[in-house]
Amino acid sequence: MPKIAIIGASGYSGAELVSILLAHPQAEVVGLFGSAKRDADKPAAFSDSWPRFRGRLDLPVRPTSIPEIAALKPDAVFLATPHEASLELAPELLHHGLNVLDLSGGFRLKDAALYPKFYGFEHTHAATLAAAVYGLPELHRTAIRTAQMIAVPGCYPTSAILPLAPLARAGAIAPRTRPIVDSISGVSGAGRSPSQAMLFSEVSVRAYNVLKHRHNPEIDAYAGTSVVFTPHIGPYDRGIVSTIHAELAPGWNHARVSDALAAAYKHEPFVRLCPPGIWPAVNDVKHTNFCDIAWATDDATSHLVISSAIDNLTKGAAGQAVQCMNIRLGLPETMGLLPGGEK
């Protein structure tokens, strides 16, 4: 039974990891860790922060200690931590020979020069950055199988890359054009720290970080095309819908787009291509690891509209991380991730 440790267990992504792993038939959570400032003598139980786990997982959330984590000999360590924390923790964990799955953005961008602009810090671990594999199984499954350091993709990028990447690879996007990606996310994407803008009576639909969001270069790097990305917050708890507008290259039409997407995803267990007339909705993917995709074209003007929906905490974070863990540990990729307890 593979043993799992989670650092950053008390946040939304950490709790989602726990929820998935408790139902996983081949995973045992052996350690939960949080801020190094926690009281080591009086660690609070995980279920104190998340009462729904009371009686199911009452492990203490201990201050993060690399030697203590290494002593557990976990088969995988998940980092559900801030970017700067992952930056320092990952190299130390790798030094102890541990497999690391990082849910932060600390190792997603291969170009270290982008970090000061988009993340606000200098990237100081070039070797680890170079070794990190971008954990989007639909694109990098082979590399994930042997990776010791896996950078789990961001939620917005997952919702944009999966619709765009097969088309960009096939040459469907008109040269010298940039697809426009408009995405709206539930408030859980902002994290668990309280803020006035996220209060029940304050939250509304609005754009934010326009033309400067840190996920834009991540989409550019892995979608195969540069994009104009605009994120929005929505007054619901979880889920992302992304609507993408793109100009098609000469010779491309609805039938060819459909064939390209079908060929790319016919064997992918977590990408569902919607039937004609059905458009993705957050309620259809909530609490699942699926990405639903639908599209339409105006063949007269070569304009494509393609839409996707994911759960930002599942396929956009914890579920995708467990999908990567399954691949890395040689388990069935869908194990613990299909609805209804299917294996």
- Catalytic positions, written as ranges: 155
Are 314 and 295 in contact, with CB atoms under 8 Å apart?
no
Report the alpha-carbon distance of residue 170 to residue 162 in Å, rounded: 14
Q: How many CB atoms lie within 10 A of CB 245?
A: 15
The pair of structure tokens assigned to 71 is 């002593």
Residue with tokens 């009281």: 39
Pick from 103, 24, 102, 79: which is nearest to 337 by CA?
24
The pair of structure tokens assigned to 329 is 């540990």
The pair of structure tokens assigned to 57 is 């997982």
